[in-house]
Structure 1
Amino acid sequence: MSKVQEPRPDGHRDLVGQPHEAEEGPVAEAEAEAARISSPERPRGTMGKPFNRRSPFLIGLTAAAGVAVTYGLVLMVVGLRDVLIVIGLALFIAIGLEPLVSWLVVRRWPRWLAVTTVFLAAFGLLAGFLAAAIPVIVEQATQLVQKVPTYVQQAQDRSSWLGQLNARLHLQQAIEQSISGGSSLVQAGLAVFGVLTNFVVLVVLSIYFVADLPRIRAAAYRLVPNSRRPRAILIGDEIFVKVGGYVLGNLLVSAIAGALFLTWLLIFGVPYAVLLAITVAVLDLIPVVGSVVGGILVSLVALTVSLPVCLATVGFVILYRFAEDYVLVPKIIGRAVKVPAIVTVVAVLLGGALLGVVGALVAIPVAAAALLLTQELLFPRLDAM
């Protein structure tokens, strides 16, 4: 690339706006001044005095521009909602994996090698898990398909508990309507394709975000005024630590939930144990409501064995909920996040209502960040008034 041409003593550049003429008047004078303030250290000169922010015209212009920009941003966010959710979730995952990467970098690993190692380990664990679980899942899914006629027959028999439940809730009719018609199959195929596409994009973005997170962090802090930047770094890094601790802790708690439920279901001979345990582990990633939904599903399937097994499973679900809320989460996640229980419940409900499953998943670290900002910024200012 050729070097950018420096202005001549009169301020003109040979490659811009030729020919220059003396009749340019004030512009020619400004160009001469531009050549005077240009120096090797600051080739583009120094910043001038700020505008008078109290000017009525500037106030009105700023207000009108603020309204227009806000309206445009709202429309943009609504239109790009799905894309922004994927980008935000990728950044959330990247911040969650950052503690592992930084732990390796501190031990003198090159960052590219640390990022590669973390993702290869994650993909290896996922591949090993799928290799072990998919054959069992396929086998149990095949058994479920083979037993569907039996369940249908029981649903039509009003003397059985399933028949009585079907008579009250019309389960068979609802299932037949949901799977009837070709359009539903097409929609299901499109939904699966969309999920797979978003997953691939999510993985790629997460890798890029983790690899460039130091530069992203530095660029974000450059947006803060210099006088406030040191404190912003302290608060921002603490938020990063909270998010990272939550992501890793949540994965560990979900793995423990899946292992405990699998053990329980195998002991009592509940069908589809592996499939149910995986479902519970995935649902448990959603705070508060996830394990409740998984426990209800497991209890209903346990009812196909016997009523005592179902009641025992309900008791096990309740006992696990207490253990997770008062032992696992405080020990594994609570030390990093430090969010009160009532704030957790409200945050999950609001996040789920706004963004669905993704909103419920990220609700707790967002609430932790909001609490930290409130304690460090809002409360001191209110106390000083």
Structure 2
Amino acid sequence: MRIENPFRLGFVATLGAITALVLGGMMSSLGTVLTYVGAALFLALGFEPIISFLERHRWPRPLAIVVSLLVVFGAFSLLVVAVIPSVTEQIGELTKRYNALVEQLASSNLIEWADRTFPGLDAQKALEDGLNWLKDNIGVITGGVLQVGVDILNGFFGLLIIAILTLYFVSSMHSIKRGFYQLTPASRRGRIAELTEEITGSVGKYVMGQTSLALVNGVLTFIFLTVIDAAMPAVFALVAFLGSLIPLVGTISASVIIVVAQLALTDPGSPTWWIAGIYYLVYMQLEAYVISPRIMAHAVKVPGPIVVIAALTGGTLLGLLGAMIAIPVAASILIIVERVIIPAQNER
């Protein structure tokens, strides 16, 4: 191929590369905002099955939206309020244990004990070295604690932004869909609207199904931990609920956290932790083969290998949010392939 003006070609190619880099940088900078928007839209689609159910029973849509939001956010608020006393009580108990340990160490001659127990160790020098290290690194330690506080505060504001966006998306979902349809060619608008409704319905059913699974796990965890007199049943019920929202690894991760926490919080020799371990081994089998198939029967139809691949890919790209939305996204892609690409190939 003959290039008549290589300078112009190189200039245009350079401008294209610079534009691509600028757009890539902008997308990277807006990653947090896009994550908030995606999470809010995902949650808003989860409200649609509830609102549609109420509309089918002749509820006005505004009233159905208000009732759905009040029920969901009210239940979550009550759960948080129920958890706060348990957390406060446990923090007080840990503080008492810490103070007792400090008093015990202070009342005993720790250096003489260390010299008797470890004859080759210079306990006095080890203590001085430890204090000097603490003095030299106090800025790093306090800075890390401060950074944790900042991260918690940012997480709180992120949740607040997602909640506000969710309220907006839920209240204006029909308007958003109509605006999207107006951007499509008139000749294909009906078909695109049909596919969009099917995709959003699939996502909404998945959200409802996964939330139902998490609710079952949370309620059963609270009942079980209360029966065996475990530590902080309300807190760990919330941990089980939030963990089960994550596909594939959420339930087992929450179970491990709960069992390890019971081992740390209960008295030495207490059988609570291994009883909890046996319970979660049984529960995970019931969830995988009995509870989940029944709840998710009408949600999404995605083959097992695609579920694993989608969850791993989503988690790698977008972290926790990506893992949560990966399966409905995969289901949406399968719907497009089945309804659009395959029929188009068959017509050729």
TM-score normalised to the size of structure 2?
0.77
Query: Structure 2 vs 1, CA of residues 70 and 112 (structure 1 numbering), >3 Å: closer, same or farther?
Result: farther
| Whole-Å separation in 2 of the counterparts to 1:130 and 1:215 | 33
Task: Indicate the residue corresponding to 1:85 in structure 2.
Answer: 35
Q: Find 1:241's aligned residue among 176, 179, 201.
A: 201
1:357 corresponds to 2:320 = yes
1:140, 1:275 within 8 Å by CA — same for their partners in 2? no
| Whole-Å separation in 1 of the counterparts to 2:84 and 2:153 | 20
Q: Which runs of 5+ in 1 are unaligned?
A: 1-59, 154-172
Task: Indicate the residue corresponding to 1:74 in structure 2.
Answer: 24
Query: Structure 2 vs 1, CA of residues 380 and 150 (structure 1 numbering), >3 Å: closer, same or farther?
Result: farther
1:111, 1:211 within 8 Å by CA — same for their partners in 2? no
* Deviation digits for residues 259-283 of structure 1 (CA, Å, limit 9, x no counterpart): 2122222333332322222111111
Shift of residue 383, structure 1, vs aligned partner: 4.8
Task: Indicate the residue corresponding to 1:324 in structure 2.
Answer: 287
Shift of residue 302, structure 1, vs aligned partner: 3.8
Q: Find 2:175's aligned residue among 205, 215, 233.
A: 215
Q: Could you say which structure has the higher helix fraction?
A: 2
1:158-307 matches, within 5 Å, as 181-304=141-264, 306=269
Q: Find 2:302's aligned residue among 332, 339, 347.
A: 339
| Whole-Å separation in 2 of the counterparts to 1:384 and 1:218 | 30
SS at match of 2:332: helix
* Deviation digits for residues 155-199 of structure 1 (CA, Å, limit 9, x no counterpart): xxxxxxxxxxxxxxxxxx9xx999972212221221122112212
Q: Find 1:368's aligned residue among 311, 331, 345.
A: 331
| Whole-Å separation in 1 of the counterparts to 2:198 and 2:32 | 28
Query: Structure 2 vs 1, CA of residues 200 and 286 (structure 1 numbering), >3 Å: closer, same or farther?
Result: same
2:82, 2:234 within 8 Å by CA — same for their partners in 1? no
Task: Indicate the residue corresponding to 1:124 in structure 2.
Answer: 74
Shift of residue 256, structure 1, vs aligned partner: 0.9
Residue-pair matches, total: 303
Query: Structure 2 vs 1, CA of residues 67 and 239 (structure 1 numbering), >3 Å: closer, same or farther?
Result: farther
1:86-165 matches, within 5 Å, as 86-148=36-98
Shift of residue 86, structure 1, vs aligned partner: 0.3
Aligned letter for 1:188? V
Q: Which runs of 5+ in 2 are unaligned?
A: 1-8, 105-129
Shift of residue 286, structure 1, vs aligned partner: 0.7
Query: Structure 2 vs 1, CA of residues 328 and 274 (structure 1 numbering), >3 Å: closer, same or farther?
Result: same
2:263, 2:272 within 8 Å by CA — same for their partners in 1? yes
Shift of residue 247, structure 1, vs aligned partner: 1.4
Aligned letter for 1:143? E
Moved more, 142-151 or 209-218: 142-151
State the identity %. 31
1:178, 1:184 within 8 Å by CA — same for their partners in 2? no
| Whole-Å separation in 1 of the counterparts to 2:227 and 2:139 | 34
Higher relative contact order (CA 8 A, sep 6+): 2
Shift of residue 287, structure 1, vs aligned partner: 0.9
| Whole-Å separation in 2 of the counterparts to 1:228 and 1:362 | 27
Larger radius of gyration: 1
| Whole-Å separation in 1 of the counterparts to 2:157 and 2:284 | 34
| Whole-Å separation in 2 of the counterparts to 1:370 and 1:150 | 59
Shift of residue 337, structure 1, vs aligned partner: 1.0
